[in-house]
């Protein structure tokens, strides 16, 4: 009976099989799109623009000054620095994003635009202290210049064949990502008084590897690791670019990249161009560049205890950050590693074990402050609806009870500190476009008690209560120079303890009248103490001169600080002694920052300040209409997913409010063709979805005869995406519904004898995910749930309905990089079979999928890491992790035998077990690709599934939606 049931049911093959010849191309094109927020702005946003022959700066009303300065810098860069890569020019749109707490920026193709996140970072050691939007202009416009001059030869041919995404694909394959970012960091450094190339912390990564005697392969340095710390491609790229210019001239990279993007030599074009213009093969060039910087950055210091600690550990251990004294024996700090998410820990320095207090809520950094049993820190909180809008809210944690409260909501507060009495909190409020402000808050309810004036227009970072009427903070002026300031909480006046300079200052801490902080000093980040109006350099016994020293706190006659090492930030502590203090003149910190092998980017180029317009009104501001180039088709690409062969023309406007696609699809199995279009409009809320697809040459069997027909299906729908992330969990909820009109057109001899019936149906869905924060090595979060519900019902002329529920439940396994995932699913549809809807029911693996009256599923998965090879082949493919999944699937289907009357109920089981092997890889040193193989052992054989052993080549679909 089961065999008869299966043989008569119309089935759909749900195997994820791709044509191997086009797999890499499809995956790489998909992975090239930069992270952008679709539909991220409130509908009422009024957009303005500065539109010149060089750049179109698009910004919300109120940000004219920043837009004008960016336009001025871009014009100067276009005049002076483009020629170092070539003379080609293409106008770009730059969209300013002032409503996000994230400090970032990017330039991308598909569509061609740049986006500047205007929130300045609190940590000046990471990205510098220059005015943030100016730094973005210097750095990101270099990417514009790169793209403008990399559309040549074969790269240009790919642009004509596949559009902007095709160009981006071949550009990224021809020119390594280390050059893109290293070249941009070089520009921001050479054209300003600071830039990352002048920050000692920028070189901590490679200094730590060298001091720990860790000699990684070139492919590991290029691709990173899931078990070892590897500096990113920004650092590597800067050293490669700076060495090349220093050794072979300012135009060397223009010549190399020109030939690379043309694919001269076809295979390894960049490496061949390096050899041609430097006289060194690629391997020799990169070795000499690293050796050059290793000698340039050497301090001559002998290995310290911190260095020895890093040398003794083979792999990354953990980061221990922001240690603070609870009493003379106990430290509280934040610890995280590749296997565990950030959490608060307490350590007894006399040899006791670390006690975990609480996992930290989702935050942009691990900074916090502690006093008198209270921990206060800023956590990340997105807006529920608008994706380009998020907040930084204050959390207050009671150490004694481990209970936590959220004090503020929809706020932009950073780096909070609590006073000794535990009654007040000081925090920096930063809203791009407005002066920064220090707010004094009530620790009971988060109410604002006082807003301090800011007469000097400073940007405050890491404020600390210094006395009842004073706050100390690292401050930046409009130029980007830094000092240590004591702010009077009565009138906002500031006393500067140090002269302003371009040396970075940060992480001040206070104990009684002693201020501790970190500052750049003679090419390194060192620890300082200010007490009794005197400045001292603090050199603890375990300090190493190879990397930076940070986050010093002195209290109870003891010290604690963190040192940057190759296996994590190392917490060190000890007894304070006078011999560890060396008097330093404050003026010594005012010296210009060290220059790590930087030349002028172009002859006659001037520094950043000279590029700023003296009168921002020189650039007229006009209204930017939201409908401008709404249908912005930028790329066209083939997609092969056997048996479907698709060619799509895709588009998206610069404001990310309309996604559009026109496509043609051919199905090889059933030989039908489809012409269609899909559109999603997100400038309004809810989102509006439109779709239309015309299918020709569809077939079905009636009275043992083959019937031919065409269909035209049109849909309109609404979608409500909600971001419910808060606390320790990332949460997302999407609710939507589509009304679909389906019209059939019968052909041939059936044209007049069969009704060209049309019917409408409604498809409604709910998708929900809730996932705990995830550490680097965790394959999936240790606790998560994903739920998908879909109900489809015909509403005119024919009867039919279908309901599908699919849920995944995630739990920790026996090791930190293991996961248990339970899959439960249900499918129910009508028994009339007047209309058949597609189903998202996850059938038992290895079987051909069915669509019948009732289907139930219970699946179990155990994911585990097998190895972290950190091994690659020929700079083509690099294996970061090999992992496995052991699975068991059980599906029960129920239907009726339609050949007999009355129709008896029929049940059938589909059971399978097996294993999946996944390879987490990088291709061409920069594109993440996961692929694998599945072996399924089928326990219930049939005509459709005659073999007990099924092998599949798979591309996994991540149920949590991670890339």
Q: DSSP per residue over 841-870, as a string? A: --PPTTSPB---SEEEEEEEEEEEEEE---
Per-residue pLDDT at 871: 96
CA–CA dist 474, 507 (Å, integer) = 8
Residue 36 predicted with pLDDT over 70 = no
Q: Are 69 and 31 in contact (CB under 8 A)?
A: no
Per-residue pLDDT at 668: 84
Q: Are 125 and 142 in contact (CB under 8 A)?
A: no
Q: What is the pairing mode between strands 494-496 and 505-511?
A: unpaired
Residue 20 predicted with pLDDT over 70 = no
Q: Are 321 and 562 in contact (CB under 8 A)?
A: yes
Can you read off the two tokens belonging to residue 474?
Answer: 């690292």
Directed axis angle between helix 233-248 and helix 204-211, to 10°? 90
Per-residue pLDDT at 744: 86
pLDDT band at residue 630 under the 50/70/90 scheme:
very high
Per-residue pLDDT at 902: 67
pLDDT band at residue 16 under the 50/70/90 scheme:
very low
Q: What mean pLDDT comes out for the span 876-901?
A: 90
Q: Are 23 and 955 in contact (CB under 8 A)?
A: yes
Per-residue pLDDT at 40: 85
Q: What mean pLDDT comes out for the span 517-521?
A: 95
- Percentage of the chain lying above the pLDDT 70 cut: 90
Overall residue count recorded for the chain in this entry: 963
CA–CA dist 961, 867 (Å, integer) = 24
Note the pLDDT tens digit of each residue in 549-563: 999 999 999 999 999
Per-residue pLDDT at 286: 96
CA–CA distances in Å: residue 72 to residues 544, 602, 606, 690: 43, 18, 13, 41
Residue 6 predicted with pLDDT over 60 = no
> CB under 8 Å to 854, separation ≥6 — which residues?
827, 828, 893, 894, 895
Q: Are 602 and 186 in contact (CB under 8 A)?
A: no
Q: What mean pLDDT comes out for the span 509-526?
A: 94
Residue 623 predicted with pLDDT over 70 = yes
pLDDT band at residue 798 under the 50/70/90 scheme:
confident
Residue 373 predicted with pLDDT over 70 = yes
Q: Among 169-178, 469-478, 606-615, where is mean pLDDT lowest?
A: 606-615
Note the pLDDT tens digit of each residue in 416-463: 999 999 999 999 999 998 899 999 999 999 999 999 999 999 999 999
SS3 431: coil
Q: Are 779 and 810 in contact (CB under 8 A)?
A: no
CA–CA dist 861, 42 (Å, integer) = 41
Per-residue pLDDT at 395: 98
Q: What mean pLDDT comes out for the span 234-248?
A: 94
Mean pLDDT of the residues in the chain: 89
Q: What is the DSSP letter of 578?
A: G
Between 140 and 7, where is the model more confident? 140
Between 272 and 541, where is the model more confident? 272
Residue 520 predicted with pLDDT over 80 = yes
> CB under 8 Å to 706, separation ≥6 — which residues?
699, 700
Q: Among 344-348, 354-358, 600-604, where is mean pLDDT lowest?
A: 600-604
Per-residue pLDDT at 234: 97
Indicate the helix (H) or strand (E) that contains 37: none
Residue 173: name the closest of 260, 55, 73, 296 by CA. Answer: 260
- Percentage of the chain lying above the pLDDT 90 cut: 74
CA–CA dist 947, 959 (Å, integer) = 28
Q: Are 567 and 43 in contact (CB under 8 A)?
A: no
Between 832 and 784, where is the model more confident? 784
Indicate the helix (H) or strand (E) that contains 450: strand 448-451
pLDDT band at residue 796 under the 50/70/90 scheme:
confident
DSSP readout, 352-366?
PPPEEEEEPPS-SS-
Per-residue pLDDT at 33: 42
Q: Dihedral (C-alpha) 941, 942, 943, 945: value to the nearest 10 degrees? A: -50
Per-residue pLDDT at 885: 97
Note the pLDDT tens digit of each residue in 73-129: 999 898 888 788 988 999 999 999 999 999 999 999 999 999 999 999 999 999 999
CA–CA dist 384, 813 (Å, integer) = 32
Residue 680 predicted with pLDDT over 70 = yes
Per-residue pLDDT at 636: 93
pLDDT band at residue 755 under the 50/70/90 scheme:
low
pLDDT band at residue 963 under the 50/70/90 scheme:
very low
Q: What mean pLDDT comes out for the span 56-78?
A: 94
Between 954 and 684, where is the model more confident? 684
Per-residue pLDDT at 491: 87
> CB under 8 Å to 229, separation ≥6 — which residues?
205, 208, 316, 566, 567, 568
Per-residue pLDDT at 544: 63
Q: Are 159 and 212 in contact (CB under 8 A)?
A: no
CA–CA distances in Å: residue 786 to residues 361, 772, 825, 858, 960: 21, 12, 12, 15, 7
pLDDT band at residue 607 under the 50/70/90 scheme:
low
Residue 677 predicted with pLDDT over 80 = yes
Residue 601 predicted with pLDDT over 60 = no
Residue 824 predicted with pLDDT over 60 = yes
Between 381 and 295, where is the model more confident? 381
Q: What mean pLDDT comes out for the span 673-692?
A: 96
Helices (H) and strands (E) in the chain, counts: 16, 47
> CB under 8 Å to 302, separation ≥6 — which residues?
none
pLDDT band at residue 753 under the 50/70/90 scheme:
low
Q: What mean pLDDT comes out for the span 11-36?
A: 36
CA–CA dist 296, 433 (Å, integer) = 40
CA–CA dist 874, 171 (Å, integer) = 19
Q: What mean pLDDT comes out for the span 529-535?
A: 94
pLDDT band at residue 955 under the 50/70/90 scheme:
confident
Q: Which residues of 670-689 are buried (b: 16+ CB within 10 A; e: fewer)?
A: eebebebebbbebbeebbbb
CA–CA dist 462, 130 (Å, integer) = 17
SS3 147: helix
CA–CA distances in Å: residue 834 to residues 287, 793, 805: 70, 12, 22
SS3 627: coil
């Amino acid at each position: 009976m089961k065999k008869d049931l299966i043989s008569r049911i119309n089935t759909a093959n749900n195997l994820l099989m791709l044509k191997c010849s086009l797999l890499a191309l499809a995956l790489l094109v998909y992975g090239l799109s930069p992270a952008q927020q679709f539909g991220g702005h409130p509908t009422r946003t009024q957009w303005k623009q500065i539109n010149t022959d060089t750049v179109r700066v698009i910004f919300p009303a109120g940000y004219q000054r920043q837009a004008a300065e960016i336009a001025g810098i871009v014009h100067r860069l276009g005049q002076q620095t483009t020629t170092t890569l070539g003379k080609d020019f293409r106008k770009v749109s730059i969209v300013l994003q002032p409503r996000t707490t994230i400090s970032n920026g990017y330039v991308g193709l598909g569509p061609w635009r740049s986006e500047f996140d205007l929130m300045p970072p609190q940590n000046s050691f990471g990205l510098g202290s220059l005015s943030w939007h100016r730094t973005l202009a210097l750095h990101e416009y270099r990417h514009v210049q790169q793209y403008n001059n990399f559309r040549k030869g074969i790269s240009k041919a790919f642009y004509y064949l596949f559009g902007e995404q095709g160009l981006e694909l071949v550009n990224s394959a021809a020119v390594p990502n280390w050059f893109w970012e290293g070249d941009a960091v070089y520009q921001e450094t050479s054209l300003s008084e600071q830039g990352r190339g002048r920050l000692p912390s920028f070189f901590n990564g490679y200094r730590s590897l060298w001091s720990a005697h860790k000699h990684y392969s070139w492919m590991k340095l290029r691709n990173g690791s899931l078990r070892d710390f590897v500096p990113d491609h920004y650092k590597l790229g800067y050293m490669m670019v700076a060495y090349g210019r220093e050794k072979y001239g300012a135009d060397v990279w223009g010549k190399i990249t020109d030939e690379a993007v043309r694919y001269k030599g076809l295979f390894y074009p960049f490496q061949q161009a390096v050899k041609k213009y430097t006289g060194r093969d690629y391997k020799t060039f990169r070795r000499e560049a690293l050796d050059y910087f290793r000698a340039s950055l050497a301090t001559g210091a002998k290995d310290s205890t911190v260095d020895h600690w890093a040398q003794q550990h083979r792999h990354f251990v953990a980061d221990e950050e922001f240690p603070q004294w609870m009493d003379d024996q106990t430290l509280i700090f934040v610890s995280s590693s590749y296997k565990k998410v950030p959490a608060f820990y307490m350590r007894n320095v006399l040899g006791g074990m670390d006690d975990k207090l609480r996992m930290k809520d989702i935050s942009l950094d691990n900074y916090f402050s502690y006093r008198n049993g209270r921990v206060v820190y800023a956590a990340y909180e997105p807006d529920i609806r608008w994706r380009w809008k998020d907040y930084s809210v204050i959390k207050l944690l009671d150490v004694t009870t481990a209970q936590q409260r959220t004090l503020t909501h929809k706020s932009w507060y950073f780096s909070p500190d609590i006073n000794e009495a535990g009654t007040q909190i000081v925090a920096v409020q930063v809203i791009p476009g407005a002066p920064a402000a220090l707010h004094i808050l009530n620790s009971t309810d988060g109410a604002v008690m006082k807003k301090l004036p800011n007469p000097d227009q400073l940007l405050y970072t890491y404020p600390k209560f210094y006395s009842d009427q004073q706050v100390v903070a690292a401050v930046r002026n409009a130029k980007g120079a830094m000092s240590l300031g004591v702010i009077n909480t009565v009138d906002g006046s500031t006393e500067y303890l140090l002269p302003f300079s371009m040396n970075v200052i940060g992480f001040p801490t206070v104990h009684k009248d002693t201020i501790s902080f970190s500052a750049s000093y003679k090419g390194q980040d060192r620890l300082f103490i200010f007490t009794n109006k005197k400045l001292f350099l603090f050199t603890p016994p375990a300090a190493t001169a190879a990397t930076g020293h940070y986050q010093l706190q002195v209290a109870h006659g003891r010290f604690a600080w963190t040192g940057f090492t190759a296996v994590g930030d190392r917490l060190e502590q000890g007894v304070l002694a006078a011999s560890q203090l060396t008097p330093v003149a404050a003026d010594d910190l005012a010296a210009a920052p060290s220059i790590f092998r930087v030349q002028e980017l172009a002859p006659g180029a001037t520094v950043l300040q000279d590029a700023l317009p003296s009168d921002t009104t020189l650039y007229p501001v006009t209204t930017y209409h939201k409908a401008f180039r709404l249908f912005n088709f930028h790329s066209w690409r083939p997609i092969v997913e056997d048996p479907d062969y698709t060619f799509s023309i895709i588009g998206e406007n610069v404001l990310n409010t309309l996604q559009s696609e026109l496509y043609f699809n051919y199905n090889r199995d059933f030989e039908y063709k489809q012409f269609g279009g899909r559109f999603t409009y997100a400038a309004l809320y809810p989102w509006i979805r439109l779709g239309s697809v015309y299918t020709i040459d569809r077939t079905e069997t009636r009275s043992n005869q083959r019937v031919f027909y065409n269909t035209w299906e049109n849909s309109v729908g609404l979608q409500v995406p909600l971001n419910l992330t808060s606390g320790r969990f990332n949460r997302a909820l999407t609710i939507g519904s589509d009304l679909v009109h389906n019209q059939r057109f019968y052909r041939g001899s059936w044209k007049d004898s069969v009704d060209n019936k049309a019917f409408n149906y409604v498809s409604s869905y709910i998708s929900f995910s809730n996932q705990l924060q995830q550490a680097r090595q965790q394959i999936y979060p240790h606790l998560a749930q994903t739920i998908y519900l879909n109900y489809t019902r015909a509403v005119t002329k024919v009867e039919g309905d279908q309901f599908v529920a699919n849920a995944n439940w995630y739990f920790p396994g026996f090791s930190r990089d293991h996961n248990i995932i339970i899959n439960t699913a249900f499918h129910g549809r009508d028994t009339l079979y007047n209309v058949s809807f597609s189903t998202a029911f996850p059938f038992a693996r290895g079987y051909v999928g069915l669509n019948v009256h009732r289907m139930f599923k219970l699946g179990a998965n155990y994911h585990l890491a097998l190895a972290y090879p950190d091994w690659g082949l020929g700079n083509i493919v690099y294996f970061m992790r090999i992992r496995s999944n052991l699975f068991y699937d059980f599906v029960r289907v129920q239907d009726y035998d339609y050949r007999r009357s009355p129709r008896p109920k029929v049940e059938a089981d589909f059971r399978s077990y097996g294993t999946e092997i996944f390879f987490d890889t990088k291709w061409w040193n920069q594109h993440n690709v996961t692929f694998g193989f599945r072996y399924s052992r089928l326990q219930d054989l049939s005509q459709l599934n005659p073999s007990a052993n099924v092998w599949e080549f798979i591309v996994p679909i991540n149920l949590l939606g991670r890339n």
